[in-house]
A and B are shown apart, each in its own frame.
Chain A
Amino acid sequence: MNILRLLKRGKTAKAAKDRLQIIIAQERSQQSQQTDYLPLMRQEILKVIAKYTGVKLQDVKVDLQSNRSNSVLELNITLPENLKAKTPAEEKATETEEEVEAETA
Chain B
Amino acid sequence: MSEVIVVTSGKGGVGKTTTSASFATGLAQRGFKTAVIDFDIGLRNLDLVMGCERRVVYDLVNVIQGEATLKQALIKDRNNENLYILAASQTRDKEVLTTEGVEKVINDLKGLGFDYIICDSPAGIEKGAHMAMYFADSALIVTNPEVSSVRDSDRILGLLGSKTYRAENDLPSIKEHLIITRYSAKRVNTGEMLSVADIKELLGVSLLGIIPECQSVLSASNAGSPVIRDDGSLAGKAYSRIISRFLGEEVPDDSAKKGFFRRLFASNKEKELA
Contacts and interface: CB of A to CB of B under 8 A. Distances in A.
Interface of A: 6, 9-14, 16-17, 19-21, 23-24, 27-28, 31
Nearest to A19: B147
A23 B158 contact: no
Chain B CB within 10 A, most for which of A6, A13, A27: A13
How would you classify the secondary structure of chain B's contact residues: helix, strand, loop or mixed?
A: helix
B233 interface: no
Contacts of B151: 20, 23-24, 27
Contact of A13 (B155, B192, B203): B192
A13 B193 CA distance: 5
B195 A20 contact: no
Interface residues of B, number: 18
Given A16-B147, A27-B155, A28-B154, A21 B191 contact: no
Contacts of B268: none
B202 A13 contact: no
A47 B202 CA distance: 39
B195 A13 contact: yes
Nearest to A30: B158
Given A12-B191, A27-B151, 17 more contacts: A6-B190, A11-B191, A13-B191, A13-B193, A13-B194, A14-B191, A16-B194, A17-B198, A17-B202, A20-B150, A20-B151, A20-B194, A21-B202, A23-B151, A24-B154, A27-B155, A31-B158
Interface of B: 146-147, 150-151, 154-155, 158, 162, 188, 190-195, 198, 202-203
A9 B203 CA distance: 26
